[in-house]
Structure 1
Amino acid sequence: MSQSPPARKPIIEFRGVSKSFGTQRILDGLDLKVHYGEALVIVGPSGTGKSTILRLMCGLLEPDSGEVLLGGLPLQAEQLQRKPIQVGMVFQQAALFDSLTVEENVGFLLYEHSKLPRTKIGELVREKLEMVGLDPVLARQMPAELSGGQRKRVSFARAIMEDPTVPDDETQLLLYDEPTAGLDPIASTVIENLIRSLKQRGSCDSYVVITHQETTIRSTADRILLIYQGKVRWEGQAPEIDACQDPYVRQFFDGKIDGPIQ
């Protein structure tokens, strides 16, 4: 009888991670895993460390204690050894370079770190713009000429840009920090659908979303973590929310003042 293959390590894992800023402890011995192929949404009240989690995941911050493992290896060692896991991040305010065109923003990684000719990079940029539902003619425009929803999608195109000269067996993890913040309901739906479609089309293997918007939570999550005071207080799936009687869940999703969240 043939044996089933061994389970793959989580794409990213926190083991007892703590992080403080000054005297304020943001994360307190946090444990979490993001599995291959998973869509994870992290929620919780403001100031509970959700964005800090993303910055730890992509190496912009280091934990005060505990470990962040990427592909089973400590994150810094993972970066140094150039293992095949690529982490892209979509920031809350898109974080585009105002002095660069859309093409230069989307192709920034390749312009800075590859030997590809500009014509080839331009082709790749137009391809990515089409993937996120934008007209390639926007490549010549400046960020200030775009709407809020267009800027968001440009930041998505930048996050999924890959160097075609690098072997294409890299695992891609995308991190989204409040991707629908400040958008109207229709624009939010467009972005939510885009998040799902990029994964379905293979532009990423797994993703993590930080959000407060309930529509984004329900439409993009395979699994949800509710964080408060630096710890996971509840874990579940979107269909469980309405019937769940956990006090943290009820207070957060019902918007109640009274409850364990102060």
Structure 2
Amino acid sequence: MTEPLIELKGISKSFGNNVILDNVDLTIERGDSLGIIGPSGTGKSTILRIIAGLLAPDAGEIYIQGQLRQGLIEDAEDPIFIGMVFQQAALFDSLTVEENVGFLLLQHSTLSRREIKQLAEEKLAMVGLGKIGDRYPAELSGGMRKRVSFARAIMSNPQNPRYTPEVLLYDEPTAGLDPIASTVIEDLVRDLQRAEGGCSTYLMVTHQDSTIRRTTDKVVFLYQGKVQWQGKISDIDATENPLVRQFFSASVDGPIQVIG
């Protein structure tokens, strides 16, 4: 058997007296489209930041393609490249769209500006945003900014195959979007999974029912710092787990404590 791309073992994380993750195990195999779901404040985004190497756990081990990670991503390179799409797009306001998408290459390659421009245009075309490279983020709608962040996340460096994303981490990519814009983003996630030059493996953090059902094949339900349930999308409507049933019914009655 091949090693999982990513494996978390006994991961715990607290902020002050607030326990966010409590001895969490998680395995991501190549080709997975895994949803991480649960109520607000249950550690979903925290898991993504730990996987990305942006945040260190208090306890536990992280294996990237079988290799134990030591420290944060800035301390040592992982054996695979992990890209992240942030909830608020996290674009640089002072850079054009093209410069945002090509930022990795501007910082870590000797490619010419012309070459980077061409590669950025190719990625923008993949997310349906041709000929906007000279615009600034402030000139774009929320949905367009999200798609620019997708293009940036899948940017690869032809001079160094190591900088080709093998895993994408999506942190609520449809948050704040209207239903039609959300559908565009959901379709794009699946398109990028199948496309040459896209990324076949990803984790999706989201609260939105449509996004969960249309972009993931299996889900992990987090609550009170622990994995409370996991299964295939087809299992959601059949499970008797009271947490999952309450979450998807949007009921205020049930074991999930409603914060007033």
Bucket of the pairwise TM-score, normalised by the shorter protein:
over 0.9
SS of 1:205's equivalent?
Answer: coil
CA contact (8 A) 2:13 2:22 kept: yes
2 CA distance for matches of 1:142 and 1:129?
Answer: 14
- Residue 258 of structure 1: CA displacement? 2.1
Counterpart of 1:145, as a letter, is E
SS of 2:203's equivalent?
Answer: strand
Aligned Cα RMSD in Å?
1.6
1:242 corresponds to: 237
TM-score (norm 2): 0.94
**Pair 1:97 & 2:102 matched:** no
CA contact (8 A) 2:69 2:78 kept: no
1:193 corresponds to: 187
1:207 corresponds to: 202
CA contact (8 A) 2:81 2:162 kept: no
Task: Select the residue among 146, 154, 157 that pairs with 1:152.
Answer: 146
1 CA distance for matches of 2:71 and 2:191?
Answer: 32
1:39 corresponds to: 33
2 CA distance for matches of 1:124 and 1:59?
Answer: 26
Task: Select the residue among 62, 69, 82 that pairs with 2:63.
Answer: 69
Seq. identity, %: 58
SS of 1:139's equivalent?
Answer: coil
CA contact (8 A) 1:43 1:211 kept: yes
2 CA distance for matches of 1:27 and 1:260?
Answer: 19
- Residue 81 of structure 1: CA displacement? 6.2
2 CA distance for matches of 1:199 and 1:173?
Answer: 10
Task: Select the residue among 132, 156, 171 that pairs with 1:138.
Answer: 132
- Residue 158 of structure 1: CA displacement? 0.4
- Residue 205 of structure 1: CA displacement? 2.9
1:57 corresponds to: 51
88-97 or 7-16, which moves further after superposition?
7-16
SS of 1:25's equivalent?
Answer: strand
Counterpart of 1:120, as a letter, is E
SS of 1:140's equivalent?
Answer: coil
Q: CA deviation digits over 1:71-104, x for unaligned, max 9?
A: 1112237956645411000000000011111011
- Residue 260 of structure 1: CA displacement? 1.8
Counterpart of 1:243, as a letter, is A
CA contact (8 A) 2:37 2:44 kept: yes
1:256 corresponds to: 251
1:226 corresponds to: 221
1 CA distance for matches of 2:101 and 2:165?
Answer: 20
SS of 2:56's equivalent?
Answer: coil
SS of 1:138's equivalent?
Answer: coil
- Residue 201 of structure 1: CA displacement? 1.0
1 CA distance for matches of 2:110 and 2:218?
Answer: 40
1 CA distance for matches of 2:78 and 2:237?
Answer: 41
The number of aligned residues is 255
Q: CA deviation digits over 1:205-232, x for unaligned, max 9?
A: 3100000000000001111011001111
1 CA distance for matches of 2:124 and 2:96?
Answer: 13
Q: Would you identify which runs of 4 or more consecutive aligned residues in structure 1 move more than 2 Å?
A: 75-84, 167-171
CA contact (8 A) 1:174 1:206 kept: yes
- Residue 242 of structure 1: CA displacement? 1.6
